[in-house]
Structure 1
Amino acid sequence: MRLIIAEKPSLARAIADALPGGSRREEGAIVCGESVVTWCLGHLLEQASPEVYDAADKQWRLDRLPIVPQRWKLTPRAKARGQLAIVRRLLKQAADVVHAGDPDREGQLLVQEVIEHCGYKGPVKRLLINDLNRPAVVRALSRLQDNADYQPLFQAAQARSRADWLYGINLSRAWTLTGRQAGHDGVLSVGRVQTPVLGLIVRRDNSIRDFVPHLFYPLWVELAVKSGQLRAWWVPGESQPLDDQGRLIDRSPADQLAARLPGAEGVLKQLEQQEKRQAPPLPYSLSALQVDAARRYGVSAQAVLDSCQRLYEQHKLITYPRSDCRYLPEEHLAQAQRSLGGACASDNTLGEWLAGADFSLRSKAWNDKKVSAHHALAPSGKAPDFSTLSATDANVFRLITRNMLAQFYRPLRTFEVKAQFMVLDETFKARGQSVLDPGWKPLFTTRDETPPLPSLHEGETCKALDAGVEERETRPPEPFTDASLINAMMNIGRYVQDPAVRRTLKESDGLGTEATRAGILETLVMRGYLVRQGKALRATQLGSALIAALPSAVSTPERTALWEQRLRAISERQDDADAFQHALLDDLRALLSQSDAGKLKQSLRTAQGEAATPAKRAGKPSTGKPRKSYAKRKSSGGKRKTTART
């Protein structure tokens, strides 16, 4: 009997459907002739707890750290014991085994560790599937490889799993025990991913708390040109008093220039005109969907994940949702019109968008080379019954379907103009945009971002009709929300200085994974490190104190990048897993030596004091409107945005 072990039930069903002959369901498996397909439920096994290695470690003690297993052990996850028993029984009957985990590092680990844990010693083949369509699965079944070829990938994943255990167990125990000495009664959890995420929020909150606003003074001029009027903005020279963003911080030069401008003549010194084409946004990965849904509907990342799971498992309306990919297999293109027809069948808005789609178009979304372990989220083709969907589920489904529909719309075409005028030997800039073809844009918004400018010609003269100075106030950074924090985790390289580290973080998809990011946020809330204030995520006193007390290396994302570099090298046979662990232990011992009850006690006191102190503000709170405008005559321009952020 050939036993095929899939990573999850949905993959097992797709494999069974692609095998020749009929099939019948059994508990935890599908029998297909001479083959049996079974599955894991994600990880069936987990790293054993410290007391499994030594009963003395059931009690938390600083003098027992670091805890380092000499021979690593795995134990069944509580909710997976039944399925693990089924897989174990089938392995005892198998003549050969096919490993059908996802084609990535974690997929290699979670099936292979079950095979090894159950003591199977026979031959193992590797089945690589990233497209659940039957023809693609049939092709993959005809191209089985030797699982031994993927041993380095397994070793890298195993090294990551063990390193996370060593890091989390030892640092959490160290700072929890240190916290008790400092008077804090509770667990202080530390992790390679969750702690840098908390660090992001604490540093943002500190920036907001310490922010001191200042005034700045933009100067506008209303210019008459041959074909109409436009508003341009002064670009102060370096000799003027400017802040680090190039904004004028002394009003008097602006007032003096504004008084001289009306009636002055000038010339259009430089003109840039360019037609731009913008392709439609790609179909969603889970994180990209979480960002958009949080921005549009104010739902948490976890709520979006839960909604996707219902749409996938219960309603069968979308494809597998925990994907980090925004591309689709080329083979899916031929089925897109049918699947979108079903998805849009019972919704007026989706139906209107479907009617405008041109299925002769092909966007860059269809690309086999960019499909990873899973493809982008897409509607399955089943017609939804919106009466059975919650409001959140319906909104999430519409977003997924909309992004898929957008692939069959023309690109957005705009005509963008940048103009630079010289008046009284000073530079003024204006910009505008005209929409030549809205293409996919109406599916997303009907707003025009930048109004158009009148027709312009380089070298033409202009005349200043009016001028004014606005008083604006800088604003602090916005607190993180679910949307902006998920986006930050996806693009964590933006928050590091070292170019090499930034590049590695970009290549490794940032902090966390599609499957874990929402859970990390909820864990930080559950553990009392974060609190939700409306849409905002803010650090609690405890969260702020923990980050202040930890070594900075623990609360910044650089370690993830350094680990990722070595893990990638292990998977490519260029590094050794044992050497990686030895280096980690040296690092871990250095970090443990920095646990300091006095520092933690002080950081707790400081956090409590700061929570009781209002944020520093310069002058009155800004209303977001100009306080005063100096103008020789009434401006003919419309409203202008009057706030800025540093």
Structure 2
Amino acid sequence: MRVIIAEKPSLARAIAEALPGRMQRQEGLIQCGDTTVTWCLGHLLEQAPPEAYDPADKQWRLDRLPIVPSRWQLAPRPKARGQLSVIRKLLKQASLVVHAGDPDREGQLLVQEVIEHMNYRGPVQRLLVSDLNRPAVVRALGRLEDNQTFQPLYRAAEARARADWLYGINLTRAWTLTGRQAGHDGVLSVGRVQTPVLGLIVRRDNTIRDFVPYPFYPLWVDLQVQHGQLRAWWAPKPNQPLDEQGRLIDRTPADALVTRLPGAQGQLTQLEQQEKRQNAPLPYSLSALQVDAARRFGLSAQAVLDGCQRLYEQHKLITYPRSDCRYLPEEHFAGMRKVLSSACQNDTTLNGWLSGADFSRRSETWNDKQVGAHHALAPTGKAFDASAVSDIDAKLFQLISRNVLAQFYPPLRTFEVKAEFTLLEECFRARGQQVLDPGWKPLFTTREESPPLPPLTQGETCQALSAGVEERETRPPEHFTDASIIKAMMNISRYVDDPEVRRTLRDTDGLGTEATRAGILETLVQRGYIVRKQKALRATRLGSALIAALPEAVSIPERTALWEQRLSAIAERQDDANAFQHALVEDLYALLRQSDAGKLRHSLQTAQGEAAASARRGAKSNKGDTKRKPTGNRKRTPSTGAKRKK
């Protein structure tokens, strides 16, 4: 008998419907001729607790750390025993097992750990399903692979699970017990990925809190040129009082120059003009979709993940969503006209975009070399009906479809001009852009980035009509949002200070995976380490205190980013899981020696004091606002993001 083990019931039903023969449903399985389809319910097994290895470790004690199992054990989850019993009986009768976990690292682990836990020793094949529609599942069933091919993926996932256990159990116990000595009564959870993410948010909050704004003074001049007028901005020479970004921080030179400019004659001394072509953004990975949906609709990363799961499992409108890939298989190109025509026919917006698509165009997204176990998110071809899904799901489907449709639009073509004028021996710069062909851009926005300049000729003369000096103020960075923190987790090398580590990281190395990033943020919220204030993610007093008390190596992204890199290398047969675990245990010994109750007590008291001071400042500001006459809104200048002072 052939037994197919799916990752979840929805996938099992899709597989059963694609098999020949009459379906017979029983408790925990579906019989289809000589094939039986059963399923997991997410993870049926979990890492055994410390007391399973030694009963003495049920009690939390510092002198028992680190806890490092010599032989790893898995334990059934409390609600999984019934389904595990069903799978155990089937495996005893099976002549062939088909592993039908999701096509990613975690999906490989989830089903295979059950097969190995049951000591099944027969042949195992692998079924990779990325689209739950029947034709796609039928094709996948015709392309079964040897599960042995995916052993490195399993080893990487297993190493990840064990690393999370070692890191989380030992450091959480150490700092919770240290916290009790410092007067904190709750659990202080520390995680291999969650703590560096919390560290990013805390350090951003601290930067904003400690930021001291200062004024700077851009000078503009309106110029008459041969074919019109334009505005140019002064580029002060290096001998002027400038900050690191070249902004003038002493108004005196600007005031002296502005009085001399009206009526002054000058010349266009440098002119750069070029036509640029920009291809459409690639189809989405999950994280890229989470970033865009957070920016456009204010959706949390978890809300996007949940919506995509519904579109995939319940509505069967999109392909497998937990993908880190932004490319599509080359074989999908020929059938994409039919897929998109069917998917978009009932939606006015999508149908309008569909009418402008040129399906003879072949963009760079069709690239088998860039596609791994899964490909970018795409419609399946099932007709979309906005009234049959939630508002969030409809918005997500439109975004996913839009990015695939955009592959059949021409590039955005612009004519860009950069001009430098010399007046009174000073340099003034202007830039403009003219859209020659909007291409795919109207699918994304109707806003123009910058207005065009009048026609210009190298060496032509100009005359200053008027000039002015603006007073602006530097601004701190923005608080992290769901969009910006997911983007930071995707591209963590930008937040790594160590130049040696940064050199070893690829642009694609990140914290967490597509499947876990949303959950990490929700975990931090649930544990009281961060809160959402409107769209901003802010650290709580407890979150700030924990980061201040932990060794810096635990809360900065360097180590975890390198570990993620090693896990990817294990999956690609370029590293060894045992060596990875050995290095992690060595790290644990060094980190545990740094637990310090005095430091934690001080950080808790400091965070409490800063929170109280912030509250007093807010109360004082609100009280003052009731007496102050309105003075108008401060404007932001798009070119610098700075505040313009009135």
* Fold-level similarity (TM above 0.5): yes
Aligned to 1:605: 605
The AA in structure 2 aligned to 1:338 is K
Q: TM-score if structure 1 supplies the norm length?
A: 0.91
Aligned to 1:487: 487
Aligned to 2:250: 250
Measure the CA separation in 2 of the matches of 1:183 and 1:66. Answer: 23
> 1:231–1:172: structure 2 CA closer, same or farther, 3 Å change rule?
same
The AA in structure 2 aligned to 1:586 is E
Aligned to 1:634: none
Aligned to 1:635: none
**Secondary structure class of the residue paired with 2:259:** helix
Shift of 1:358: 2.2
Is the Cα–Cα contact under 8 Å of residues 625 and 642 in structure 1 kept in the other structure?
no
> 1:503–1:400: structure 2 CA closer, same or farther, 3 Å change rule?
farther
**Secondary structure class of the residue paired with 2:334:** helix
**Secondary structure class of the residue paired with 1:466:** strand
Shift of 1:96: 2.6
How many positions carry a matched residue from both structures? 633
Aligned to 1:644: 642
Aligned to 1:632: none
Match status 1:364 vs 2:361? no
> 1:130–1:305: structure 2 CA closer, same or farther, 3 Å change rule?
closer
The AA in structure 2 aligned to 1:95 is S
Shift of 1:330: 2.7
> 1:309–1:152: structure 2 CA closer, same or farther, 3 Å change rule?
closer
Shift of 1:249: 0.3
Aligned to 2:120: 120
Aligned to 2:326: 326
Measure the CA separation in 2 of the matches of 1:554 and 1:177. Answer: 17
Higher mean C-alpha displacement, 491-500 vs 262-271 = 491-500
Alignment of 1:147-546 (within 5 A): 147-499=147-499, 501-502=501-502, 505-506=505-506, 509-546=509-546
Aligned to 1:88: 88
The AA in structure 2 aligned to 1:644 is A
Shift of 1:143: 5.8
**Secondary structure class of the residue paired with 2:419:** strand
> 1:401–1:591: structure 2 CA closer, same or farther, 3 Å change rule?
same
Shift of 1:268: 1.3
Shift of 1:475: 0.7
Measure the CA separation in 2 of the matches of 1:61 and 1:462. Answer: 79
The AA in structure 1 aligned to 2:123 is P
**Secondary structure class of the residue paired with 1:116:** helix
Higher mean C-alpha displacement, 187-196 vs 47-56 = 47-56
Shift of 1:190: 0.3
Measure the CA separation in 2 of the matches of 1:395 and 1:145. Answer: 36
Measure the CA separation in 2 of the matches of 1:473 and 1:434. Answer: 30
Higher mean C-alpha displacement, 135-144 vs 571-580 = 135-144
> 1:162–1:285: structure 2 CA closer, same or farther, 3 Å change rule?
same
Higher mean C-alpha displacement, 46-55 vs 218-227 = 46-55
Higher mean C-alpha displacement, 556-565 vs 517-526 = 556-565
Measure the CA separation in 1 of the matches of 2:349 and 2:20. Answer: 42
Higher mean C-alpha displacement, 388-397 vs 54-63 = 388-397
Unpaired runs of 5+ in structure 2? 626-630
Is the Cα–Cα contact under 8 Å of residues 472 and 643 in structure 1 kept in the other structure?
no
Measure the CA separation in 1 of the matches of 2:561 and 2:281. Answer: 28
Percent identity of paired positions between Structure 1 and Structure 2: 76
Higher mean C-alpha displacement, 231-240 vs 279-288 = 279-288
Unpaired runs of 5+ in structure 1? 628-638
> 1:79–1:166: structure 2 CA closer, same or farther, 3 Å change rule?
same
Measure the CA separation in 2 of the matches of 1:189 and 1:273. Answer: 56
**Secondary structure class of the residue paired with 2:493:** helix
Shift of 1:570: 3.9
Measure the CA separation in 2 of the matches of 1:440 and 1:576. Answer: 45
Shift of 1:189: 0.4
**Secondary structure class of the residue paired with 2:333:** helix
Shift of 1:32: 4.2
The AA in structure 2 aligned to 1:75 is A
Measure the CA separation in 2 of the matches of 1:209 and 1:172. Answer: 28
Aligned to 1:65: 65
Measure the CA separation in 1 of the matches of 2:269 and 2:10. Answer: 63
Shift of 1:12: 4.4
Higher mean C-alpha displacement, 116-125 vs 76-85 = 76-85
Is the Cα–Cα contact under 8 Å of residues 223 and 229 in structure 1 kept in the other structure?
yes
Aligned to 1:77: 77
Is the Cα–Cα contact under 8 Å of residues 132 and 313 in structure 2 kept in the other structure?
no
Q: TM-score if structure 2 supplies the norm length?
A: 0.91
Measured on the aligned residues, the alpha-carbon RMSD in Å equals: 2.8
**Secondary structure class of the residue paired with 1:357:** coil
Measure the CA separation in 2 of the matches of 1:90 and 1:16. Answer: 16
Is the Cα–Cα contact under 8 Å of residues 293 and 304 in structure 1 kept in the other structure?
yes
Measure the CA separation in 1 of the matches of 2:562 and 2:640. Answer: 42
Measure the CA separation in 1 of the matches of 2:138 and 2:612. Answer: 64
Is the Cα–Cα contact under 8 Å of residues 131 and 319 in structure 2 kept in the other structure?
no
Is the Cα–Cα contact under 8 Å of residues 130 and 320 in structure 2 kept in the other structure?
no
Shift of 1:97: 2.5
Shift of 1:232: 0.8
Shift of 1:158: 1.8
> 1:579–1:623: structure 2 CA closer, same or farther, 3 Å change rule?
farther
Shift of 1:45: 1.4
Measure the CA separation in 2 of the matches of 1:587 and 1:381. Answer: 49
> 1:640–1:508: structure 2 CA closer, same or farther, 3 Å change rule?
closer
